[in-house]
Amino acid sequence: MPHDKAPIAVALDAPDVETAARWAQAVTPYVAVVKVGLELFCRTGPSVVETVRGGTGVGLFLDLKLHDIPNTVAGAAKSVARLKPMYLTVHASGGSDMVRAAVEAAPEVTIAAVTVLTSLGDRSLQEIGLAGPSSDAVRRLAALAVAAGAGALVCSPQEVAAVRAEVGPGVVLITPGVRPAGSDAQDQARIATPEEAIRNGADLLVIGRPITGAKDPGAAAAMIAASL
């Protein structure tokens, strides 16, 4: 990751490609990565990647959370590897063989395994039959994914210290649910400030609305970058 830029992935959860491109252009001087999620990718298709990347060479985080049989995930990972993302997400709960299939199909890409979605609480885990509490499920899935070759993990700021202790120093920990002090928690249940998340061992912070919802997204990105 470029050292002159903040370890932030700006979530481009935009209603259209023009807005996403405008946000990306505003923030790329300050942040290392921009994140394209499922909604934007499904709406516009793979062409969105070149549009938001522009000529900047900013890192791309493709947050598609692939979850299917290993063969299908391998095919999908191979297809999007052509877009040269820095990170591609898969669900750790797809199991070791699935995670390994993604890793082998896209060797140039860092596969980031999602442990437990930040929207799931202990009750939801019980409903889907995943042994909880969520902190145990997160640690278990983190260990499984790393053993299967994942180079990164996505976990909430509350779990980042425990996950770091579980998997050691070589794995990139990506943390959504980061909100600068004084901003609205919105729909994330498990949150922290950027400084806390980094202190707890996060390597890359996913930040969306506190930057993209600001009147001047570039200034908001610069301010958060400076705080780190």
Active site residues per annotation? 65
Contact by Cβ (8 Å): 205, 8: yes
Count of CB atoms situated within 10 Å of the CB of 8: 24
Distance CA 94, CA 83 (A): 23
Please give the single-letter amino acid code of residue 5.
Answer: K
Distance CA 211, CA 90 (A): 25
Considering just the CA atoms, what is the radius of gyration of the chain in Å? 17
CA angle (54, 60, 64) in 5-degree steps: 125
Contact by Cβ (8 Å): 194, 180: yes
